[in-house]
Amino acid sequence: MTDRDVGPIDYLAVEFPGARLEGDGLAALVDLTDRGIIRILDLVVAKVEEDGTFAVVTLADLDGDGSLDLAVFEGVQSGLLDPDDVAQSAALVKPGNAVGLLLYENTWAGPFVSAMRDVGAEVIASGRIPAADVAAALDALEAAES
């Protein structure tokens, strides 16, 4: 057991069509980090070539506008993700696209888990319900109420 509150660790693999990292996603990621909701443990971007091979892209000026897009995450590497994880994620995306692999700690949950342990409780399971399943269930509920 560490002296630090540790929250659950999650990962996301995101496919970027045409290997273009655009939109407000980067700003949202910085905001979540700045507010202490999550802590980025690993952030890797790999571009998948037409022949299926891939190359890890240095976190730099990803959109070509002259500014370093992910400077705040430059060098973030916990060692929890290994080359096999990147290869498996790259195999999930279409050639010509890129995959972003994000490993993060849910820092908001750390103090809660520690407080539960202080009274003898233990987290015995955790899980994730896919967003598509939640949306489908809510759509079905809404349809049933109509």
Give residue-wise pLDDT tens across range 94-106: 999 999 999 999 9
Calpha distance 15→94 (Å, rounded): 8
Among 5-9, 19-23, 74-78, name the most confident range: 5-9
Kindly state whether residue 137 falls inside one of the protein's structural domains.
no
Please indicate, yes or no, if residue 1 is contained in any of the structural domains: no
* Model pLDDT, residue 54: 94
| Residue 68 banded pLDDT, cuts 50, 70, 90 | low
Domain boundaries, position 28: 9-121
Kindly report the pTM of this predicted structure. Answer: 0.75
Q: With a cut of 50, say whether residue 2 has pLDDT above it.
A: no
The answer to whether 92 and 14 are in contact (CB under 8 A) is: no
**Residue 14 is assigned to a structural domain of this protein:** yes
* Residue of 31, 37, 34, 40 lying closest to 110 (CA atoms): 37
Q: Is 63 inside any structural domain?
A: yes
Q: Where does the pLDDT of residue 71 fall: very low under 50, low under 70, confident under 90, or very high at 90 and above?
A: low
Residue 62 lies in a domain: yes
Q: How many domains does the chain have?
A: 1
Flag whether 142 is in a domain. Answer: no
In a domain, residue 132? The reply is no
In a domain, 97, yes or no: yes
